[in-house]
Structure 1
Amino acid sequence: MHRNLIALLIWVVLFSACTKTHQKNSACGTQVCSDIFTAVEVHFTDNTGKSIKVSNFTVFDVTSNKQLYPGLPTANLLVGYYTVASDSNIKDYSTDGDVIKVSGTDSATGQTKTVNFKISGGCNCHVAKISGPDSVAFD
């Protein structure tokens, strides 16, 4: 009798240890993501390849037809580099990717350049550039 009771007790302990811990499920489901903060940037240069600050820097989501505000430009840290998307605004982008129009104006010449990106976010762990240039050179 003691053997059956001990076996039953061991059985209960083993199976209670195997119960799942419940994670809060979001609309995106449960997923494991790294803590690395990700950003997509673009680099603006003049016609000689020198990094420049631009004015009127805009990020517009053509897919959802809305202006986006991905954060402060990194021009204060690295001249000419601007944030197009970051994990701070991952929900502004769809999981499969959105067409994003990025514009900036060369303050010295007044010339404006516009380029397209495809950026994914949404239910992904991090924002990602699907397509688009690394840098934009003014004429």
Structure 2
Amino acid sequence: MKNFKALLFIIISAISISSCVSQEETKTKCGSIMCTDEFIMVPIRLIATKSSTISFKSYKVINLAAGKQVRTKDVVRDSPATLIIADDSNRKDFPESVQNLQLQVTRNDGRVVTANYKIGGGKCACHVSKLSGPDQVDIDQ
């Protein structure tokens, strides 16, 4: 009976120690960070300085490093003039902590209006954030 208790103690100790080691490895990859459950979006607003209405054919956001289109969650927008250029669903898709994105708005006449942004994110970030770039884009420029 003593041998069984000793063996059981050794097995439980080994399992406990190995589980602590794997938790440490997970924590050290990104450090200890506390994140909120908020879902963050990076909105921009389209404005029209020469016309009274904001109208355009389409828009897309391009990750300049990857050359690929950034897709965001479909959300109900307050206004057709508000566009989401990145959100937390993109955070882990960004391999670096800073991504260079370009908004491309195709106007009704076919002309493309662009604006460049630096977006914070990456695998170890809690949320995306706009580091630089305009809050408003004039589609009449």
Where do residues 69-88 of structure 1 align in structure 2 (5 Å cutoff)?
69-72=71-74, 74-75=76-77, 77-88=78-89
Alignment CA distance shift 1:119-1:72 (3 Å): same
C-alpha contact (below 8 Å) 1:51/1:80 kept by paired residues: no
CA RMSD in angstroms, aligned pairs only: 2.6
- Residues 72 and 95 of structure 1: CA distance in aligned 2, closer, same or farther (over 3 Å): same
Q: Is residue 121 of structure 2 the alignment partner of residue 121 of structure 1? A: yes
Deviation at 1:133, TM superposition (A): 0.6
Whether 2:118 is the aligned partner of 1:102: answer no
Which residue is equivalent to 1:63? 65
SS of the equivalent of 1:25 reads: helix
Alignment match, 2:39? 37
CA contact (8 A) 1:59 1:69 kept: yes
Fraction of identical pairs, as percent: 30
Deviation, 1:35, is 1.5
* Counterpart residue number, 1:111: 111
User: Which is worse superposed, 41-50 or 129-138?
Assistant: 41-50
* CA-CA distance at 1:63 after TM superposition: 1.7
Over 3 Å counting, the alpha-carbon distance change for 1:46 and 1:39 in structure 2 is same
Change (3 A) 1:40 1:130: same
How far off its partner does 1:37 sit? 1.5
Amino acid aligned to 1:119: I
| Distance (Å, rounded) in 2 between the aligned partners of 1:32 and 1:65 | 32
How far 1:111 sits from its partner (Å)?
A: 3.0
Give the superposition deviation at 1:138: 2.1
Structure 2 residues without counterparts, runs of 5 or longer: 1-19
1:34 partner letter: T
- Contact in 2 for aligned 1:51/1:79 (Cα 8 Å): no
Corresponding residue for 1:16? none
Alpha carbons 1:111, 1:138 under 8 Å: kept: no
In structure 2, the CA distance between the partners of 1:86 and 1:62, relative to structure 1 (3 Å rule), is same
TM-score (norm 2): 0.69
Matches within 5 A, 1:1-40: 25=26, 27-40=29-42
Q: Which has the higher helix share?
A: 2
